[in-house]
Amino acid sequence: MVNRILNILLLTALIMMAFTTNGCLESKDPKQIEIDQGDFSAYEFTVPEGKFTNSSTFFLYPNKTVRAIYTVVNAPRLEVVVPKDISSTKSEKGPGIENLVIIGNTGGSTVFSGINEFSNISHNVSYSESRGNKNIQFEFADTINGYVAYTYYWEQGQFYHILSRNETVNVVLPQGYDTGNMIFGLPKPKPDTKQIDDKNRIWLVWDNPNPKHRFIFVKYYKSSLPTIMGFVGLVLLVAAFVTAIYFKNEIRKLRKKREIIDKDQE
């Protein structure tokens, strides 16, 4: 009887493991999906002077919004990794991106004079999930030079990007924000350049960080935060110093009183 029960339990466990394993494998297989075409005007497309090159630019906003713009050169597809927002209270299914815009030029030229030389490109989108990330592949109807832009959401005050190709990476902090303080967090790896644009936003630039580095991680904060925390620290230091002097004087007074009492008793 005991052996029969054990056999039933073992068989049940094997069946559950089989279903679980199949589910995991299926979740890793790319699934083709449909994403509505987004709003072109939501993005800051900039046509570089000279030759068109691979790059990724991420515009960060205080409301957890990230707008990503990839340039692709002579490419039939683009594969990206979008991290899951672990700060979200609900488990979101699907690729986790919206407002998708794909524009390009199929003429083979890598030198352009303006954004008007690019047009909407037919494409397919597929995605799979693994290790807490969303792997998304954009397949174009033809080999293009152009842009892939989309919006996603991630933790406020942090940015994380997994490197997957040779490219220049730009991270644009929200207006009024900064990074690089040893206490509040240093970018990893250190950016090659740090500059401010005409909108008073800080641009962090990495020149071809892949394959030497596997990811880029940035902690950012209000530009005034180090000053405020420094002022608070100074106030606390002064308060501690005043308190120490006060108690030292009080202890000295008590010792004098004790000495007087001891003399009177003698």
Q: Are 142 and 107 in contact (CB under 8 A)?
A: no
122 and 246 in a common domain? no
Specify the CATH number for the domain of residue 103.
2.60.40
In a domain, residue 16? The reply is no
In a domain, 2, yes or no: no
Residue at 20 is within a domain: no
Cα of first residue to Cα of last residue in the chain, in angstroms, is: 93
Shared-domain flag, residues 187 and 256: no
**Domain, as residue range, for 200:** 31-223
pLDDT tens per residue across all 266 residues of the chain: 444 554 444 445 444 444 443 344 344 677 888 888 899 999 999 998 888 999 999 999 998 999 999 999 999 999 999 987 766 645 566 788 999 999 999 988 899 989 999 999 999 999 898 877 889 999 999 999 999 999 999 988 999 999 989 999 999 999 999 998 888 889 999 999 999 999 999 999 999 999 899 999 999 998 765 555 554 565 566 667 667 777 777 777 777 777 667 666 66
Q: How far from 125 is each of 66, 72, 136, CA to CA, in Å?
A: 20, 16, 7
Q: Are residues 97 and 154 in the same domain?
A: yes
∠ CA 38-43-47, nearest 5°, is: 120
Instruction: Please count the structural domains in the chain.
Output: 2
In a domain, 86, yes or no: yes
Helix (H, G, I), strand (E, B) or coil at 34: coil
The answer to whether 52 and 112 have CB atoms below 8 angstroms apart is yes
Q: Are residues 126 and 94 in the same domain?
A: yes
